[in-house]
Structure 1
Amino acid sequence: MSETQRTVRTAAVIPAAGRGVRLGPGAPKALRTLSGTPMLVHAVRAMARSRAVSLVVVVAPPGGAAEVRNLLDEHSLPEKTEILVVPGGETRQESVRLGLAVLPDDIGIVLVHDAARPLVPVDTVDAVAAAVRDGAPAVVPALPVADTVKQVEPRTGGEPEPVIGTPERSVLRAVQTPQGFDRATLVEAHEKVGLEGEGATDDAGMAERLGVPVVVVPGHEEAFKVTRPLDLVLAEAVLARRRANDDF
Protein backbone atom coordinates (compact mmCIF):
# COMPACT_ATOMS: atom_id res chain seq x y z
CA MET A 1 0.00 0.00 0.00
CA SER A 2 1.37 3.40 -0.95
CA GLU A 3 1.72 6.34 1.44
CA THR A 4 -1.12 8.08 -0.41
CA GLN A 5 -3.47 5.13 0.14
CA ARG A 6 -2.63 5.08 3.86
CA THR A 7 -3.42 8.77 4.37
CA VAL A 8 -6.67 8.96 2.39
CA ARG A 9 -9.67 9.09 4.71
CA THR A 10 -13.19 7.79 4.18
CA ALA A 11 -16.38 9.75 4.89
CA ALA A 12 -20.01 8.69 4.85
CA VAL A 13 -22.74 11.06 3.63
CA ILE A 14 -26.27 10.32 4.86
CA PRO A 15 -29.01 12.30 3.07
CA ALA A 16 -31.84 12.51 5.58
CA ALA A 17 -33.97 15.37 4.27
CA GLY A 18 -36.84 13.31 2.85
CA ARG A 19 -40.38 13.22 4.24
CA GLY A 20 -41.05 9.49 3.76
CA VAL A 21 -44.66 9.80 2.62
CA ARG A 22 -45.07 6.03 2.17
CA LEU A 23 -44.80 5.58 5.94
CA GLY A 24 -47.74 7.94 6.37
CA PRO A 25 -48.12 11.34 8.03
CA GLY A 26 -45.92 12.44 10.90
CA ALA A 27 -42.22 12.96 11.39
CA PRO A 28 -39.79 12.64 8.47
CA LYS A 29 -38.94 9.00 7.83
CA ALA A 30 -35.38 9.29 9.14
CA LEU A 31 -36.72 10.50 12.50
CA ARG A 32 -39.18 7.63 12.99
CA THR A 33 -38.12 5.43 15.88
CA LEU A 34 -37.02 1.80 16.08
CA SER A 35 -37.00 0.48 19.64
CA GLY A 36 -37.26 4.08 20.83
CA THR A 37 -34.28 5.34 18.79
CA PRO A 38 -34.68 7.34 15.55
CA MET A 39 -33.74 5.46 12.39
CA LEU A 40 -31.25 8.18 11.58
CA VAL A 41 -29.34 7.48 14.79
CA HIS A 42 -29.19 3.77 13.94
CA ALA A 43 -27.88 4.65 10.46
CA VAL A 44 -25.23 7.03 11.81
CA ARG A 45 -24.10 4.37 14.29
CA ALA A 46 -23.80 1.83 11.49
CA MET A 47 -21.49 4.13 9.54
CA ALA A 48 -19.52 5.32 12.58
CA ARG A 49 -18.82 1.77 13.77
CA SER A 50 -16.99 1.00 10.54
CA ARG A 51 -13.22 0.72 10.89
CA ALA A 52 -12.92 2.64 7.61
CA VAL A 53 -15.14 5.66 8.30
CA SER A 54 -13.65 8.63 10.18
CA LEU A 55 -16.31 11.25 9.31
CA VAL A 56 -20.09 11.08 8.94
CA VAL A 57 -21.95 13.97 7.30
CA VAL A 58 -25.68 14.00 8.00
CA VAL A 59 -27.69 16.11 5.56
CA ALA A 60 -30.73 17.32 7.47
CA PRO A 61 -34.07 18.65 6.20
CA PRO A 62 -33.87 22.30 5.10
CA GLY A 63 -34.11 24.40 8.23
CA GLY A 64 -33.74 21.35 10.45
CA ALA A 65 -29.98 21.08 10.95
CA ALA A 66 -30.04 22.34 14.55
CA GLU A 67 -32.83 19.92 15.46
CA VAL A 68 -30.94 16.97 13.96
CA ARG A 69 -27.70 18.03 15.68
CA ASN A 70 -29.50 18.12 19.03
CA LEU A 71 -31.06 14.74 18.33
CA LEU A 72 -27.70 13.13 17.62
CA ASP A 73 -26.18 14.73 20.72
CA GLU A 74 -28.87 13.04 22.83
CA HIS A 75 -27.68 9.56 21.81
CA SER A 76 -24.42 7.77 22.34
CA LEU A 77 -22.33 7.53 19.18
CA PRO A 78 -18.80 6.20 18.60
CA GLU A 79 -16.41 8.89 19.79
CA LYS A 80 -13.72 8.02 17.25
CA THR A 81 -15.88 9.33 14.41
CA GLU A 82 -16.50 13.01 13.68
CA ILE A 83 -20.12 13.84 12.86
CA LEU A 84 -21.18 16.94 10.94
CA VAL A 85 -24.75 18.08 10.27
CA VAL A 86 -25.58 20.35 7.32
CA PRO A 87 -28.91 21.53 5.86
CA GLY A 88 -30.08 19.68 2.77
CA GLY A 89 -31.93 20.53 -0.40
CA GLU A 90 -35.27 19.78 -2.01
CA THR A 91 -34.10 16.54 -3.67
CA ARG A 92 -31.86 13.70 -2.59
CA GLN A 93 -29.43 14.56 -5.37
CA GLU A 94 -29.11 18.13 -4.13
CA SER A 95 -28.68 16.93 -0.54
CA VAL A 96 -25.84 14.58 -1.46
CA ARG A 97 -24.16 17.41 -3.36
CA LEU A 98 -24.42 19.67 -0.30
CA GLY A 99 -22.90 16.91 1.82
CA LEU A 100 -20.00 16.53 -0.59
CA ALA A 101 -19.35 20.27 -0.46
CA VAL A 102 -18.31 20.22 3.21
CA LEU A 103 -15.86 17.31 3.04
CA PRO A 104 -12.27 18.09 4.05
CA ASP A 105 -9.56 17.84 1.40
CA ASP A 106 -8.09 14.62 2.80
CA ILE A 107 -11.30 12.65 2.20
CA GLY A 108 -10.66 10.47 -0.84
CA ILE A 109 -13.40 7.84 -0.47
CA VAL A 110 -17.08 8.66 0.00
CA LEU A 111 -19.86 6.32 1.06
CA VAL A 112 -23.44 7.45 0.44
CA HIS A 113 -25.94 5.74 2.70
CA ASP A 114 -29.73 5.86 2.99
CA ALA A 115 -30.96 6.90 6.44
CA ALA A 116 -33.86 4.52 5.77
CA ARG A 117 -31.44 1.55 5.85
CA PRO A 118 -30.72 1.74 9.59
CA LEU A 119 -29.61 -1.85 10.16
CA VAL A 120 -26.85 -2.38 7.59
CA PRO A 121 -24.15 -4.55 9.22
CA VAL A 122 -20.73 -3.00 9.73
CA ASP A 123 -19.09 -5.77 7.69
CA THR A 124 -21.02 -4.60 4.63
CA VAL A 125 -19.88 -1.01 5.17
CA ASP A 126 -16.28 -2.17 5.52
CA ALA A 127 -16.50 -4.32 2.37
CA VAL A 128 -17.73 -1.42 0.23
CA ALA A 129 -15.01 0.91 1.51
CA ALA A 130 -12.34 -1.74 1.00
CA ALA A 131 -13.38 -2.31 -2.63
CA VAL A 132 -13.02 1.40 -3.39
CA ARG A 133 -9.70 1.54 -1.59
CA ASP A 134 -8.54 -1.40 -3.73
CA GLY A 135 -9.18 0.62 -6.89
CA ALA A 136 -12.85 0.40 -7.90
CA PRO A 137 -14.19 3.90 -8.68
CA ALA A 138 -17.79 2.94 -7.79
CA VAL A 139 -19.08 0.07 -5.65
CA VAL A 140 -22.57 -1.06 -4.65
CA PRO A 141 -23.65 -3.81 -2.25
CA ALA A 142 -26.41 -5.94 -3.72
CA LEU A 143 -28.36 -9.18 -3.35
CA PRO A 144 -29.63 -11.63 -5.96
CA VAL A 145 -33.26 -11.00 -6.90
CA ALA A 146 -35.51 -13.63 -5.34
CA ASP A 147 -38.68 -12.93 -7.33
CA THR A 148 -39.29 -13.21 -11.04
CA VAL A 149 -39.37 -9.67 -12.46
CA LYS A 150 -41.67 -8.55 -15.28
CA GLN A 151 -41.17 -5.52 -17.49
CA VAL A 152 -44.54 -3.91 -18.23
CA GLU A 153 -46.08 -1.12 -20.23
CA PRO A 154 -47.30 1.22 -17.47
CA ARG A 155 -50.97 2.10 -17.14
CA THR A 156 -52.70 4.61 -14.90
CA GLY A 157 -55.77 4.27 -12.71
CA GLY A 158 -55.19 0.65 -11.74
CA GLU A 159 -55.71 -0.73 -15.26
CA PRO A 160 -54.13 -4.10 -16.14
CA GLU A 161 -50.59 -3.58 -17.45
CA PRO A 162 -49.34 -5.61 -20.45
CA VAL A 163 -46.13 -7.58 -19.87
CA ILE A 164 -43.52 -6.78 -22.49
CA GLY A 165 -40.58 -8.76 -21.17
CA THR A 166 -39.17 -11.06 -18.48
CA PRO A 167 -35.53 -10.24 -17.61
CA GLU A 168 -33.29 -13.17 -16.76
CA ARG A 169 -33.33 -13.25 -12.97
CA SER A 170 -29.81 -14.70 -12.62
CA VAL A 171 -28.24 -11.47 -13.93
CA LEU A 172 -30.33 -9.11 -11.79
CA ARG A 173 -29.31 -7.69 -8.41
CA ALA A 174 -31.23 -5.63 -5.86
CA VAL A 175 -28.97 -2.73 -4.93
CA GLN A 176 -28.51 -1.48 -1.37
CA THR A 177 -26.39 1.16 0.38
CA PRO A 178 -23.87 2.36 1.36
CA GLN A 179 -22.65 2.92 -2.16
CA GLY A 180 -18.94 3.73 -2.28
CA PHE A 181 -17.00 6.01 -4.61
CA ASP A 182 -13.68 7.51 -5.32
CA ARG A 183 -14.40 11.10 -4.30
CA ALA A 184 -13.44 12.64 -7.63
CA THR A 185 -15.77 10.24 -9.46
CA LEU A 186 -18.77 11.10 -7.28
CA VAL A 187 -18.13 14.84 -7.45
CA GLU A 188 -17.89 14.68 -11.23
CA ALA A 189 -21.13 12.70 -11.43
CA HIS A 190 -22.99 15.31 -9.40
CA GLU A 191 -21.49 18.14 -11.44
CA LYS A 192 -22.21 16.67 -14.86
CA VAL A 193 -25.29 14.46 -14.53
CA GLY A 194 -28.43 16.50 -14.10
CA LEU A 195 -31.69 14.67 -13.45
CA GLU A 196 -35.15 16.19 -13.42
CA GLY A 197 -37.94 15.88 -10.86
CA GLU A 198 -36.84 14.06 -7.71
CA GLY A 199 -33.30 13.78 -9.02
CA ALA A 200 -31.10 10.75 -8.52
CA THR A 201 -32.12 8.01 -6.09
CA ASP A 202 -29.04 5.95 -6.98
CA ASP A 203 -25.64 7.62 -7.06
CA ALA A 204 -24.09 4.63 -8.84
CA GLY A 205 -26.54 5.21 -11.69
CA MET A 206 -25.13 8.70 -12.06
CA ALA A 207 -21.62 7.27 -12.26
CA GLU A 208 -22.83 4.82 -14.93
CA ARG A 209 -24.04 7.75 -17.02
CA LEU A 210 -20.47 9.04 -17.03
CA GLY A 211 -19.27 5.68 -18.34
CA VAL A 212 -17.58 4.83 -15.02
CA PRO A 213 -17.39 1.09 -14.24
CA VAL A 214 -19.49 0.09 -11.23
CA VAL A 215 -18.85 -3.18 -9.38
CA VAL A 216 -21.05 -5.15 -6.99
CA VAL A 217 -20.04 -6.64 -3.65
CA PRO A 218 -22.31 -8.91 -1.57
CA GLY A 219 -25.04 -7.07 0.28
CA HIS A 220 -26.89 -8.26 3.38
CA GLU A 221 -30.52 -9.13 4.02
CA GLU A 222 -30.59 -6.82 7.06
CA ALA A 223 -29.67 -3.80 4.96
CA PHE A 224 -33.25 -3.53 3.70
CA LYS A 225 -34.92 -0.16 3.25
CA VAL A 226 -37.61 0.83 5.77
CA THR A 227 -40.25 2.28 3.49
CA ARG A 228 -43.63 0.89 4.54
CA PRO A 229 -45.21 0.11 7.94
CA LEU A 230 -44.51 -3.63 7.55
CA ASP A 231 -40.79 -2.83 7.20
CA LEU A 232 -40.90 -1.26 10.67
CA VAL A 233 -42.19 -4.54 12.09
CA LEU A 234 -39.36 -6.46 10.40
CA ALA A 235 -36.77 -3.95 11.61
CA GLU A 236 -37.99 -4.28 15.20
CA ALA A 237 -37.65 -8.06 14.89
CA VAL A 238 -34.06 -7.72 13.65
CA LEU A 239 -33.20 -5.43 16.57
CA ALA A 240 -34.79 -7.86 19.04
CA ARG A 241 -32.69 -10.70 17.63
CA ARG A 242 -29.53 -8.60 17.84
CA ARG A 243 -30.23 -7.76 21.47
CA ALA A 244 -30.78 -11.43 22.24
CA ASN A 245 -27.43 -12.23 20.61
CA ASP A 246 -25.65 -9.32 22.35
CA ASP A 247 -24.96 -7.75 18.95
CA PHE A 248 -26.56 -4.41 19.68
Structure 2
Amino acid sequence: MAAAVVPAAGRGERLGPGAPKALRELGGAPLLVHAVRALARSRAVGLVVVAAPPQGVAEVLGLLDSHGLDGKDIRVVAGGATRQESVRLGLAAIPDATEIVLVHDAARPLVPVEVVDAVVAAVRAGAEAVVPAVPLADTVKRVRPVPAGEPEPVLDTPDRASLRAVQTPQGFRRQVLVEVHAKALAEEAEGGSPVVTDDAGLVEHYGGQVVVVPGHEEAFKVTRPLDLVLAEAVLARRRASDGF
Protein backbone atom coordinates (compact mmCIF):
# COMPACT_ATOMS: atom_id res chain seq x y z
CA MET A 1 0.00 0.00 0.00
CA ALA A 2 1.09 3.56 -0.69
CA ALA A 3 1.16 6.27 1.97
CA ALA A 4 0.42 9.95 1.44
CA VAL A 5 1.69 13.13 3.07
CA VAL A 6 -0.53 16.23 3.07
CA PRO A 7 1.38 19.38 4.09
CA ALA A 8 -1.24 21.66 5.66
CA ALA A 9 0.66 23.99 7.99
CA GLY A 10 0.65 27.10 5.77
CA ARG A 11 -1.68 30.06 6.02
CA GLY A 12 -2.38 30.71 2.33
CA GLU A 13 -2.44 34.51 2.48
CA ARG A 14 -3.60 34.93 -1.14
CA LEU A 15 -6.97 33.44 -0.22
CA GLY A 16 -7.57 36.42 2.06
CA PRO A 17 -7.78 36.93 5.84
CA GLY A 18 -9.21 34.25 8.08
CA ALA A 19 -8.43 30.66 8.97
CA PRO A 20 -5.42 28.84 7.50
CA LYS A 21 -6.15 27.91 3.88
CA ALA A 22 -6.42 24.18 4.54
CA LEU A 23 -9.20 24.86 7.06
CA ARG A 24 -11.32 27.12 4.83
CA GLU A 25 -14.71 25.57 4.19
CA LEU A 26 -15.88 24.12 0.91
CA GLY A 27 -19.39 22.73 0.79
CA GLY A 28 -19.62 22.46 4.56
CA ALA A 29 -16.23 20.85 5.18
CA PRO A 30 -12.67 22.21 5.24
CA LEU A 31 -10.50 21.94 2.13
CA LEU A 32 -8.23 19.59 4.10
CA VAL A 33 -11.06 17.14 4.76
CA HIS A 34 -11.91 17.01 1.05
CA ALA A 35 -8.24 16.49 0.14
CA VAL A 36 -7.83 13.63 2.63
CA ARG A 37 -11.09 12.04 1.43
CA ALA A 38 -9.83 12.21 -2.16
CA LEU A 39 -6.74 10.22 -1.19
CA ALA A 40 -8.63 7.82 1.06
CA ARG A 41 -10.96 6.86 -1.81
CA SER A 42 -8.05 5.15 -3.54
CA ARG A 43 -7.64 1.48 -2.70
CA ALA A 44 -3.93 1.96 -3.32
CA VAL A 45 -3.54 4.34 -0.36
CA GLY A 46 -3.43 2.79 3.10
CA LEU A 47 -2.07 5.67 5.21
CA VAL A 48 -2.51 9.44 5.11
CA VAL A 49 -0.26 11.67 7.22
CA VAL A 50 -1.34 15.30 7.64
CA ALA A 51 1.32 17.84 8.63
CA ALA A 52 -0.74 20.39 10.57
CA PRO A 53 0.15 23.79 12.06
CA PRO A 54 2.34 23.02 15.11
CA GLN A 55 -0.17 24.54 17.53
CA GLY A 56 -3.16 22.94 15.80
CA VAL A 57 -2.44 19.20 15.77
CA ALA A 58 -5.24 18.34 18.23
CA GLU A 59 -7.68 20.62 16.39
CA VAL A 60 -6.93 19.06 13.00
CA LEU A 61 -7.13 15.54 14.40
CA GLY A 62 -10.53 16.32 15.93
CA LEU A 63 -11.66 17.91 12.68
CA LEU A 64 -10.80 14.83 10.64
CA ASP A 65 -12.44 12.55 13.21
CA SER A 66 -15.62 14.65 13.20
CA HIS A 67 -16.04 14.29 9.44
CA GLY A 68 -16.20 10.52 9.45
CA LEU A 69 -12.90 9.65 7.80
CA ASP A 70 -12.98 6.07 9.01
CA GLY A 71 -11.56 2.94 7.40
CA LYS A 72 -8.12 4.39 6.66
CA ASP A 73 -5.09 4.98 8.84
CA ILE A 74 -4.99 8.78 9.19
CA ARG A 75 -2.33 10.43 11.34
CA VAL A 76 -1.63 14.06 12.19
CA VAL A 77 1.83 15.40 12.98
CA ALA A 78 3.20 18.87 13.61
CA GLY A 79 4.31 20.54 10.39
CA GLY A 80 7.13 23.01 9.89
CA ALA A 81 7.73 26.60 8.90
CA THR A 82 7.97 25.71 5.19
CA ARG A 83 6.22 23.27 2.90
CA GLN A 84 9.48 21.37 2.44
CA GLU A 85 9.91 20.98 6.19
CA SER A 86 6.30 19.84 6.60
CA VAL A 87 6.76 17.15 3.95
CA ARG A 88 9.95 16.00 5.65
CA LEU A 89 8.19 15.76 9.03
CA GLY A 90 5.25 13.91 7.50
CA LEU A 91 7.60 11.54 5.71
CA ALA A 92 9.27 10.69 9.03
CA ALA A 93 5.93 9.38 10.32
CA ILE A 94 5.61 6.81 7.51
CA PRO A 95 6.80 3.26 8.24
CA ASP A 96 10.11 2.35 6.61
CA ALA A 97 8.52 -0.63 4.88
CA THR A 98 6.31 1.67 2.77
CA GLU A 99 7.73 1.74 -0.76
CA ILE A 100 5.52 4.39 -2.42
CA VAL A 101 4.78 7.85 -1.01
CA LEU A 102 2.43 10.47 -2.41
CA VAL A 103 2.60 14.17 -1.57
CA HIS A 104 -0.67 16.05 -2.03
CA ASP A 105 -1.62 19.70 -1.60
CA ALA A 106 -4.37 20.28 0.95
CA ALA A 107 -5.53 23.06 -1.39
CA ARG A 108 -6.40 20.56 -4.15
CA PRO A 109 -9.62 19.22 -2.63
CA LEU A 110 -11.27 17.79 -5.75
CA VAL A 111 -8.64 15.56 -7.35
CA PRO A 112 -10.44 12.53 -8.86
CA VAL A 113 -9.49 9.09 -7.55
CA GLU A 114 -8.38 7.97 -11.02
CA VAL A 115 -5.55 10.54 -10.89
CA VAL A 116 -4.39 9.18 -7.54
CA ASP A 117 -4.48 5.64 -8.90
CA ALA A 118 -2.60 6.60 -12.07
CA VAL A 119 0.23 8.18 -10.09
CA VAL A 120 0.61 5.13 -7.85
CA ALA A 121 0.49 2.79 -10.85
CA ALA A 122 3.28 4.71 -12.60
CA VAL A 123 5.56 4.43 -9.56
CA ARG A 124 4.74 0.72 -9.26
CA ALA A 125 5.70 0.33 -12.91
CA GLY A 126 9.20 1.61 -12.20
CA ALA A 127 9.21 5.42 -12.18
CA GLU A 128 11.07 7.04 -9.30
CA ALA A 129 9.02 10.26 -9.39
CA VAL A 130 5.65 10.95 -11.04
CA VAL A 131 3.58 14.11 -11.44
CA PRO A 132 0.07 14.49 -12.85
CA ALA A 133 -0.19 17.43 -15.23
CA VAL A 134 -2.44 19.06 -17.81
CA PRO A 135 -1.62 20.93 -21.06
CA LEU A 136 -1.64 24.72 -20.90
CA ALA A 137 -4.63 26.46 -22.44
CA ASP A 138 -3.09 29.93 -22.44
CA THR A 139 -0.13 31.32 -24.34
CA VAL A 140 2.81 31.79 -21.96
CA LYS A 141 5.24 34.71 -21.99
CA ARG A 142 8.62 34.72 -20.26
CA VAL A 143 9.29 38.21 -18.89
CA ARG A 144 12.04 40.14 -17.15
CA PRO A 145 10.83 40.93 -13.60
CA VAL A 146 10.55 44.62 -12.76
CA PRO A 147 9.17 46.55 -9.75
CA ALA A 148 5.49 45.96 -9.08
CA GLY A 149 3.17 48.05 -11.21
CA GLU A 150 5.62 48.65 -14.04
CA PRO A 151 5.25 47.04 -17.50
CA GLU A 152 7.32 43.85 -17.80
CA PRO A 153 9.40 43.40 -20.97
CA VAL A 154 8.71 40.10 -22.77
CA LEU A 155 11.82 37.96 -23.33
CA ASP A 156 10.25 35.19 -25.41
CA THR A 157 7.19 33.00 -25.95
CA PRO A 158 7.79 29.32 -25.12
CA ASP A 159 6.06 26.71 -27.25
CA ARG A 160 3.18 25.65 -25.02
CA ALA A 161 2.98 22.25 -26.73
CA SER A 162 5.94 21.17 -24.61
CA LEU A 163 4.68 22.76 -21.37
CA ARG A 164 2.47 21.25 -18.67
CA ALA A 165 0.77 22.62 -15.57
CA VAL A 166 1.72 20.30 -12.73
CA GLN A 167 -0.75 19.09 -10.11
CA THR A 168 -0.74 16.73 -7.11
CA PRO A 169 -0.64 14.10 -5.74
CA GLN A 170 2.93 13.57 -6.82
CA GLY A 171 4.26 10.05 -6.34
CA PHE A 172 7.71 8.80 -5.38
CA ARG A 173 9.68 5.75 -4.47
CA ARG A 174 10.02 6.35 -0.75
CA GLN A 175 13.81 6.03 -0.69
CA VAL A 176 14.17 8.59 -3.47
CA LEU A 177 12.05 11.12 -1.59
CA VAL A 178 13.90 10.49 1.68
CA GLU A 179 17.26 10.97 -0.02
CA VAL A 180 16.45 14.26 -1.77
CA HIS A 181 14.99 15.74 1.40
CA ALA A 182 18.11 14.72 3.32
CA LYS A 183 20.29 16.37 0.67
CA ALA A 184 18.19 19.55 0.77
CA LEU A 185 18.46 19.66 4.57
CA ALA A 186 22.24 19.24 4.39
CA GLU A 187 22.48 21.96 1.74
CA GLU A 188 20.39 24.27 3.91
CA ALA A 189 22.66 23.63 6.89
CA GLU A 190 25.59 24.81 4.77
CA GLY A 191 23.84 28.08 3.98
CA GLY A 192 22.31 27.12 0.64
CA SER A 193 18.90 25.90 -0.40
CA PRO A 194 17.54 24.49 -3.67
CA VAL A 195 15.04 26.86 -5.29
CA VAL A 196 12.12 24.54 -5.98
CA THR A 197 8.36 24.73 -5.49
CA ASP A 198 7.48 21.05 -5.19
CA ASP A 199 8.98 17.67 -4.30
CA ALA A 200 9.39 16.66 -7.92
CA GLY A 201 11.54 19.76 -8.27
CA LEU A 202 13.82 18.40 -5.53
CA VAL A 203 14.19 15.12 -7.42
CA GLU A 204 15.09 17.05 -10.60
CA HIS A 205 17.50 19.31 -8.69
CA TYR A 206 19.50 16.31 -7.50
CA GLY A 207 19.58 14.60 -10.88
CA GLY A 208 16.58 12.28 -10.70
CA GLN A 209 14.08 11.53 -13.47
CA VAL A 210 10.49 12.76 -13.19
CA VAL A 211 7.72 11.54 -15.52
CA VAL A 212 4.27 12.96 -16.22
CA VAL A 213 0.90 11.21 -16.25
CA PRO A 214 -2.40 12.86 -17.26
CA GLY A 215 -3.91 15.07 -14.60
CA HIS A 216 -7.47 16.40 -14.46
CA GLU A 217 -8.99 19.85 -14.85
CA GLU A 218 -10.83 19.44 -11.52
CA ALA A 219 -7.59 18.89 -9.60
CA PHE A 220 -6.92 22.64 -9.60
CA LYS A 221 -5.40 24.41 -6.61
CA VAL A 222 -7.57 26.69 -4.48
CA THR A 223 -5.33 29.72 -4.11
CA ARG A 224 -7.51 32.80 -4.59
CA PRO A 225 -11.16 33.62 -3.71
CA LEU A 226 -12.30 32.93 -7.29
CA ASP A 227 -10.85 29.40 -7.06
CA LEU A 228 -13.05 28.75 -4.04
CA VAL A 229 -16.12 29.85 -6.02
CA LEU A 230 -15.18 27.47 -8.84
CA ALA A 231 -14.58 24.63 -6.37
CA GLU A 232 -18.05 25.18 -4.86
CA ALA A 233 -19.57 24.92 -8.35
CA VAL A 234 -17.69 21.69 -9.14
CA LEU A 235 -18.67 20.16 -5.80
CA ALA A 236 -22.32 21.14 -6.28
CA ARG A 237 -22.35 19.51 -9.73
CA ARG A 238 -20.80 16.32 -8.36
CA ARG A 239 -23.31 16.11 -5.52
CA ALA A 240 -26.22 16.68 -7.90
CA SER A 241 -25.04 14.01 -10.36
CA ASP A 242 -23.70 11.20 -8.18
CA GLY A 243 -24.20 12.03 -4.51
CA PHE A 244 -20.50 12.89 -4.05
The yes-or-no answer on 1:116 pairing with 2:107 is yes
Contact 2:194 2:205 in 1 (8 A): no
**Aligned with 1:142 (options 123, 133, 137):** 133
**TM-fit CA distance, 1:197:** 8.0
Structure 1 runs (4+) deviating above 2 angstroms are 193-201
Amino acid at match of 1:223: A
- Look up the match of 2:142: 151
The yes-or-no answer on 1:16 pairing with 2:17 is no
RMSD between aligned alpha carbons?
1.4
**TM-fit CA distance, 1:244:** 1.1
- Look up the match of 2:50: 58
The yes-or-no answer on 1:206 pairing with 2:202 is yes
Alignment of 1:159-238 (within 5 A): 159-193=150-184, 194=187, 200-238=196-234
Contact 2:140 2:158 in 1 (8 A): yes
Deviation string 1:145-186 (CA, Å, 9 cap, x unpaired) is 111100000011311111011111100000000000000111
Change (3 A) 1:92 1:31: same
- For 2:197 and 2:25, locate their aligned partners in 1 and report how far apart those are by CA, in whole Å: 23
- For 1:199 and 1:35, locate their aligned partners in 2 and report how far apart those are by CA, in whole Å: 35
Structure-1-length-normalised TM-score: 0.93
- Look up the match of 2:69: 77
Structure-2-length-normalised TM-score: 0.95
- Look up the match of 1:245: 241
Amino acid at match of 1:16: A
- For 1:102 and 1:23, locate their aligned partners in 2 and report how far apart those are by CA, in whole Å: 29
Unaligned runs of 5+ in 1: 1-8
Identity of aligned residues (%): 72
- For 2:142 and 2:157, locate their aligned partners in 1 and report how far apart those are by CA, in whole Å: 6
Unaligned runs of 5+ in 2: none
- For 1:213 and 1:189, locate their aligned partners in 2 and report how far apart those are by CA, in whole Å: 12
Equivalenced residue count is 239
Contact 1:48 1:78 in 2 (8 A): no
Contact 1:59 1:96 in 2 (8 A): yes
Change (3 A) 1:197 1:227: farther
